[in-house]
Structure 1
């Protein structure tokens, strides 16, 4: 009888071979393109209103603007941004969701793109006492801890190959310390504190399903 995989283990042999081929293919791809993480930074931000009344209608009124810098450090990988959403949180409660990418855009190699966000409105929030205490402390200090999470829908371009659009599993977190700006009589906004650019999380644009385009 010829040597080789026993008929009972042929499926295991086939699966193992497929896994080895996939691993080698992925390694070759990685060595060719050397993909690096996209880098996100909130480079500028202003907060002109952040009012919450726990004894009234439990509504948060907010008005802030952000400039988000996206850096693609890759030499051979481009990225199509179909959607970028900002999810704004205070005391771990979301109070706003804004879509930034209209229209969608392509970010080429070694490119830096700045995306602006205007986040304004009101939202009913049922804070617990500890949340109200946190809001009161930060109101007294004049600086609010606001977390912005970025939800993406992207696809990558590797040479002539493109992936399908997909959503990275992890949202990108930007934990901001935002000073409240006060307007003077002449309309100039100022604050005793200054906003400092804040690095957010990074994300890999990995291979998803090839779309043939």
Structure 2
């Protein structure tokens, strides 16, 4: 017999190259899926951009409320300022003035229980220089006399109305009893030798201001007068060497 001819596969040079079923560097698992042994050397990292969530409806409402509140406050301040300016132009307010005209000591003695008893009579002048503003002096006003932080005596102020450009003179009787009278009396006697005894007169009175026909709410007048007298002897003439009164308003 003739020799068997060998059949060799013919390779088609024009056919595209075939892709292996299992890539190089991999092996099949028990289920037949390729398992990659080593990860790729160069992995590409994709940055994650977190998007900013849009404003919620609640935050928008809060912003609107804040803007409305600020606008309202600005409007109120403008109205108050305009009103105050108009009132100032119309009424031209001026501060009241106070002065101490006379100080008389009716009684000033040391008791058996070593307390110091004092009785003063003070004449105080109140001036209202305003042409269109009246002052109601209400009940509860007090006038007191102090020596170096110690209250010697006090008394009540009368209730009255002070009209436009009016001057009122008040006679106020003050009484008081102070502890540690012996020490205080010794200090006063030593101070009297210098011919200059410092005293503080304090006025605290509730008042109501009247603008035209309108009566405003109550405020407080606080008056402080710094005096210097030559003596504190009872039933003797006392000279006021210096007197300086200040005024402030307490709402």
| TM norm. shorter chain > 0.5 | yes
CA distance in 1, matches of 2:168, 2:248: 15
* Unaligned residue ranges in structure 1 (runs of 5+): 1-5, 184-188, 209-213
Please give the root-mean-square deviation of Cα atoms over the aligned residues, in Å.
Answer: 2.7
> What is the CA–CA distance in structure 2 between the aligned matches of 1:71 and 1:180, rounded to whole Å?
28
1:80-104 CA distances to partner (integer Å, 9 max, x unpaired)? 1113311221121123231120xx2
**d(CA) in 1 for partners of 2:197, 2:126:** 24
Q: Aligned to 2:127, which of 55, 71, 78?
A: 71
TM-score normalised according to structure 1 size: 0.75
Mark the structure with the bigger radius of gyration: 2
* Cα distance change of structure 1 residues 197 and 72 upon mapping to structure 2, 3 Å threshold: farther
Residues 95 and 125 in structure 1, CA contact (< 8 A), matched pair in contact too:
no
Runs of 4+ in 1 over 6 A off after TM superposition: none
The counterpart of 2:246, out of the listed 201, 206, 213, is 201
Find out whether 1:165 has 2:165 as its counterpart. no
SS at match of 2:240: coil
Q: Which of structures 1 and 2 has the larger relative contact order (alpha carbons within 8 angstroms, sep 6+)?
A: 1
Pick the structure with more strand per residue: 1
Gap runs ≥5 in structure 2 = 1-62
Aligned counterpart in structure 2 of residue 105 of structure 1, from 139, 160, 174: 160
TM-aligned CA deviation for residue 132 of structure 1: 6.3
Give the number of aligned pairs: 186
Q: Partner of 1:166: helix, strand, or coil?
A: strand
Structure 2 length-normalised TM: 0.64
Distance 1:91 1:52, change over 3 A: farther
Matches within 5 A, 1:29-178: 29-52=87-110, 57-83=113-139, 84-101=141-158, 104-120=159-175, 122-126=176-180, 134-141=187-194, 143-168=196-221, 171-178=222-229
